[in-house]
A and B are shown apart, each in its own frame.
Chain A
Amino acid sequence: MTGRIGSRIALALLGLTIFLALWQGIIWLRGYPAFILPPPAAVMARLWELVADGSLWFHAGATLQEVLAGLGLGALAATLLGYGLAHSPVAERLLAPYIVASQSVPVVAVAPLLVIWFGTGLLSKVLVSALIVFFPILVNTIVGVRSVGRNLRDLMRALEATRWQVVWLLELPAALPVLLGGLKVGATLAVIGAVVGEFVASDRGLGYLLKQGQQLYDTPLVFVGIGALVVMAQSLYGTVALLERGVVRWRET
C-alpha cells in the first residue's frame, strides 16, 4: 500500500520535472521575452512575493468564498427544484424548455447583467457561480431521484413510511452517487463562474489578479493566478471525489 503511494508520488514528481524542463527548454530554444512566456524561476519568484505579502491568500480567499457560496447556493437550489421536477412530470414539461433555453445563454453574457443588478460585490460573483453550477446538478438530481425502483417505492409504501422517511431512507441514498457526480462537475464549474464574475467587475479575487497581470504585462502574475485557480478547482474536485468514494463504498463488490 505504502509502496503504491510512494511510486505514485514518484511518478507525479517525474511528470512535474518533465513539464518544467519542457517549459524552460522552449524559452532557451526560442528566446521568448519574460512578458510573453516567463521562465519557471520568474513565476516562482512572483509566487513567493505574493505569498510573502499575503496578497495571494487574500485574493484566493476571496475567490474561494465566492466559489463555496456559489456552489452551495446553486447545488441547494438545483437539488430542491430537481427533486420537485423528478416527482412532477407536468412541471418538468412546463419548465424544461426554459431551463434548457437558459443554458444556451453563455454565463459570460449574463455576468455583466448580474453585476448591474446586484453590484460589484460578493453577491454578483456568487450568483454567476451558482448559475453555472445549477444545470448539471439539476439534471443529475432528476436522474438520480428517477432511478429509484418502483418496487422499493412500493416497499416503503407498504411499510407506511412517511414522506420524510421516503426521502431520507430511500431517495437520498439512492440518488447520492449520481448527485455527487453532479456536484463534482459543479465544483470545477463554480470556480469558472466566480472568475467570470470577477472579470466583469471586482476589486479582489484571483480573477482580479489575472486582469491586473494582463493590464500590466505582469505575465508571471497571470501564471501564478492560473496556477492558484487550478489548485483550487483540483482540491474541490478531489474533496467531492473523496466524499463520493466514502459514501458509495457499497458499490464495490
Chain B
Amino acid sequence: MPQDASDAARVGKDVHCHRRRESENGVSMAKPDRSLLRVERLEMGYRRPDRWLPVLDGVSFEVEGGEFVCLVGPSGCGKTTLLRLVAGLERPTSGRVLLDGVEVDRPSRSVGIVFQEPTLMGWRTVEANVALPLEVNRTPRGKALRRARALLELVGLSGFEETYPAQLSGGMAQRVALARALVHDPRVLLLDEPFGALDALTRERMALELLRIWRARRKTVVMVTHSVPEAVFLADRVLVLGPRPASVVAQVEVDLPRPRTAEVMGTVSFAAPARQIREALNRAASSP
C-alpha cells in the first residue's frame, strides 16, 4: 500500500521510531509480539443520501501493553470513529482491530471507555455509577462496592460515594467516569477527549491526575485529544492523523522522563515533540 510506504518514510524522517519499523512495512508479517493492540489498515465510511463519505483511509498502528498513546488530528477527522472501531462499537468497512491477537468484532469488556461527556446515570449515586460494570458482569454486591470505593479513592473522590451526579462539577463527574472505566480492570482504556468539556485550569489538573492514576494502574491507554501540549504531556507516543479521510501521517515519540510534572512543559524536550506534531498537522492540512 502506498499509504503505508509514505507513512513509513515520513515517520522515519520525522521521528526516531525504530522499534515498530517492522510493522510499518507490512501487516502480513504479523506475529506474536509485544503489541497488545494492533490496528490494521482500517477503512471506514458512512453512507450519505447522495454519496459515500469516507472517514478513515487505511489507519494502521500498534500499541504496546502499558503504553500511553495519544491520537491528535484536526477536528472532524475521524478520531472518535477510530476509537469507536477500536472499542468494537462500530465495524470497519475494511481492515481489522486485534486485541491480544484476537479480532475485535463486537464491543467487549476488555476495554474501558471514557466519553467526552461524563455519561453518568443520573439516578445512581456516584459509587453505584462506578460499580455499574461490576453489576453488569454479576460481581457480588459487597465486592463490587468495595472495588468502587477503592477506585473513587484513587481518583480523589472519597466522601462523594453517596452523592448524585447532578451535584458534581464537570471535572468531578469525569473522574467518576474514569473510575467506572477502570473498575472492571479492562486491558485497554479508551479516552475520547475526556477533558474536552472542561475549563483550562481543571483540564491541566485532570491531566496530572490521569498520569498519577495511569502510573498506579499501569493501564494501556489510547486517548483522543485535540490539544498538542496535552498529548505531549501525557503520551509515550503521539499518533498524528491527517484530515478526513484520515490516516496516520506521523508518529512522534515523547522521550520525557516520568513521572512528569507540570514543570516539564517549559523544557526543550517538551517543545521538540510538540513542534514535530504541529509540523505534521500543518503538512497534512496543506497537502491535498
Q: Which residues of A contact B (CB under 8 A)?
A: 149, 151-152, 154-161, 165, 169-170, 173-174, 176, 248, 250-253
- B136 CB contact (under 8 Å) in A165, A174, A176: A165
Give B84's nearest chain A residue, CB to CB: A154
Residues of A close to B164: CB separation below 8 A: 250, 253
**Nearest Cβ on chain B to A74's Cβ, whole angstroms:** 25
Given contacts A169-B136, A253-B167, contact A160 B109 (CB under 8 A): yes
A151 to B88, CA, bound (A): 14
B39-47, B114-122, B195-203, B239-247: which lies at the interface: B114-122
Q: Are B121 and A152 in contact (CB under 8 A)?
A: yes
Residues of A close to B117: CB separation below 8 A: 151
B89 within 8 A of A: yes
Q: Mark B105-135, 1 if CB is under 8 A from A, else 0.
A: 0011101010101010111100000001101
Q: Are B122 and A250 in contact (CB under 8 A)?
A: yes
Q: Are A151 and B166 in contact (CB under 8 A)?
A: no
Q: Are A250 and B123 in contact (CB under 8 A)?
A: yes
Interface of B is mostly: loop
Q: Are B166 and A169 in contact (CB under 8 A)?
A: no
Chosen A-B contacts, 19 in total, with CB atoms closer than 8 Å, are A152-B119, A154-B84, A154-B115, A156-B136, A157-B89, A158-B111, A158-B113, A159-B132, A159-B184, A160-B136, A160-B137, A161-B136, A169-B135, A169-B136, A250-B123, A250-B166, A252-B166, A253-B164, A253-B167
Extra inter-chain contacts (15) besides given A160-B109, A170-B121, CB under 8 Å: A151-B119, A154-B113, A155-B115, A157-B107, A158-B87, A158-B111, A158-B113, A160-B136, A169-B132, A173-B121, A173-B123, A176-B123, A251-B122, A252-B166, A253-B167
A169 to B124, CA, bound (A): 10
Residues of B close to A157: CB separation below 8 A: 89, 107
Q: Are A248 and B89 in contact (CB under 8 A)?
A: no
- B89 CB contact (under 8 Å) in A158, A170, A174, A250: A158
A155 to B117, CA, bound (A): 12
Give B89's nearest chain A residue, CB to CB: A154
Q: Which residues of B contact A (CB under 8 A)?
A: 84, 87-89, 107-109, 111, 113, 115, 117, 119, 121-124, 132-133, 135-137, 164, 166-167, 184
Residues of B close to A174: CB separation below 8 A: 121, 123
Q: Are A159 and B109 in contact (CB under 8 A)?
A: yes
Q: Are B123 and A160 in contact (CB under 8 A)?
A: no
A40 to B133, CA, bound (A): 62
Residues of A close to B84: CB separation below 8 A: 154
Residues of A close to B108: CB separation below 8 A: 158, 160
**Nearest Cβ on chain A to B124's Cβ, whole angstroms:** 8
A98 to B23, CA, bound (A): 60
Residues of A close to B184: CB separation below 8 A: 159
A250 to B121, CA, bound (A): 10
Give B164's nearest chain A residue, CB to CB: A250
Give B165's nearest chain A residue, CB to CB: A250
Give A252's nearest chain B residue, CB to CB: B166
Residues of B close to A149: CB separation below 8 A: 119
Residues of B close to A173: CB separation below 8 A: 121, 123-124
**Nearest Cβ on chain B to A223's Cβ, whole angstroms:** 44
Give A172's nearest chain B residue, CB to CB: B123
Residues of B close to A159: CB separation below 8 A: 107, 109, 132-133, 136-137, 184
Residues of B close to A161: CB separation below 8 A: 136
**Nearest Cβ on chain A to B194's Cβ, whole angstroms:** 12
Residues of A close to B115: CB separation below 8 A: 151, 154-155
Residues of B close to A251: CB separation below 8 A: 122, 166
- B107 CB contact (under 8 Å) in A160, A165, A170, A176: A160
A37 to B121, CA, bound (A): 55
Residues of B close to A170: CB separation below 8 A: 121
Residues of A close to B87: CB separation below 8 A: 154, 158
**Nearest Cβ on chain A to B204's Cβ, whole angstroms:** 25
Residues of A close to B124: CB separation below 8 A: 173, 250
Residues of A close to B109: CB separation below 8 A: 158-160
Give A173's nearest chain B residue, CB to CB: B123
Residues of B close to A160: CB separation below 8 A: 107-109, 136-137
- A253 CB contact (under 8 Å) in B88, B123, B132, B166: B166
Give A148's nearest chain B residue, CB to CB: B121
A152 to B89, CA, bound (A): 12
Residues of A close to B107: CB separation below 8 A: 154, 157-160
A55 to B88, CA, bound (A): 66
A155 to B164, CA, bound (A): 19
Residues of B close to A176: CB separation below 8 A: 123
A170 to B113, CA, bound (A): 17
A153 to B78, CA, bound (A): 20
A83 to B263, CA, bound (A): 54
